[in-house]
Amino acid sequence: MSTGKFPAQRPPATVTLTVTTTRERAVVAATGELDNAVAQRLHECLTQEILLRPHVLIVDLSRVDFCSAGIVRVLLDTHSHARAEGIPCAVVSTRRAVARPISALGLGHLVPLHPDLAAAEDWLTMAEPGFSPSPAG
Q: What is the CATH number of the domain that holds 29?
A: 3.30.750.24
What is the number of domains present in the chain? 1
> Are the C-beta atoms of 34 and 66 separated by less than 8 Å?
yes
Higher pLDDT, 112 or 59: 59
Which of the four pLDDT bands, split at 50, 70 and 90, describes residue 119?
very high
Q: Which domain holds residue 65?
A: 18-125
Single pTM value for the model? 0.83
Which pLDDT score, from 0 to 100, does residue 126 have? Answer: 81
Q: What is the mean pLDDT of residues 104-114?
A: 92
Task: Give the neighbor-by-neighbor strand order of the sheet with 15-21.
Answer: 15-21, 26-34, 57-67, 89-92, 113-114
Whether 80 shows a pLDDT value over 80: the answer reads yes
